[in-house]
Copies of this chain bind each other. A is one copy, B any other.
Amino acid sequence: MTVGQATSWQDIQNEILKRIMGREWAPGELIPTEVELAEEFGCARATINRALQSVAEQGWLDRKRKAGTRVKEQPERKATLKIPIIRREIEKQGKKYAHTLLSSAQKVPPAKVRTAMNLDEDAAILFLRAIHLSNGKPYVHERRWINSLFLPDALDETFADENANEWLLRNAPFTGGDFVFSAISADATLAKALETEIGAALFQFRRNTWNEDNSITYAELTYAPGYEMQFNG
C-alpha cells in the first residue's frame, strides 16, 4: 500500500506519531523497517530515517541497529521548560522591573553548595544577595554564588546596573545545568526580603550552571507567595 502524496519527513513524522498514539503500533511492539516504510509511503529510505530519528528523539521510539525500531514501553513524558529570565518575565506582564543588590562579598560557600559546585574546601568565591522587584514590589529573592576562580572578571563587576544573571548570560559560556524545584517555609530573612510573614509557603528554584566540567554559578531563587511556574510539552 502506497500513501504517495504527502511525503515530507515532517508529514511522515506526524503519521508515525498518530500510529503510536492511536495504539496502532502498541507499546513494546516492533514497527516495520525503514525499507518497508519507505515502500509503503513511496519515498526514499533517508526520508523515513529522518522522520524516525526525530520521533525517537522525542522519546517515543527505541532504535537499535539490526534489532529494529520499537515503540517505547512507557514513553517517558518529557516537557520542555523555558527557563524564565526574570526581567523579561516581569516586563511581559507590563510591570516595571528593578533590582537591588543586598550584599556582595567573597565567601567560602556552605558544604552543600561547595560540593554541588565541585570546589576545594577553602575556596572563597563571590556571593551575592539581591532582590528583584515588579512595580516596586518584591518578586523574587536571589542568593547567588559565582565561581570567581573560573571567572575572575566577575570580581570587577558591581552588579548594580545589570543583574548577575544577565551579566553571566553575556559573559560566561555554559553547556548545561542541574535544576531543583521545591517549596519552603519563609524564614525571617526571606520573610523580610519578600515582605511576607514567617512561615509563608514559597516556591524555590535552585540551579547549578556548568561549562564543560566547571561550575559557573549556583543560584537559589525564592519567589514571593503565589508565584506559579508554567510550561508545556
Contact = CB atoms under 8 A, between A and B. Distances in A.
A95 interface: no
A1 interface: no
Contacts of A223: 183
B183 A230 contact: no
Interface residues of A, number: 48
B21 A173 contact: yes
A3 interface: no
**Copies held by the complex:** 2
A212 to B, nearest CB: 9
B229 A79 contact: no
Nearest to A204: B183
A178 B80 CA distance: 11
A170 B27 CA distance: 9
24 contacts: A17-B175, A21-B174, A74-B85, A77-B82, A77-B177, A78-B81, A79-B81, A79-B177, A80-B80, A80-B81, A81-B233, A176-B233, A177-B232, A177-B233, A178-B231, A178-B232, A179-B230, A179-B232, A182-B228, A183-B184, A183-B202, A183-B203, A200-B201, A201-B202
Given A78-B81, A201-B202, 11 more contacts: A74-B85, A80-B81, A81-B81, A178-B231, A180-B229, A181-B228, A181-B230, A182-B227, A183-B183, A183-B204, A185-B200
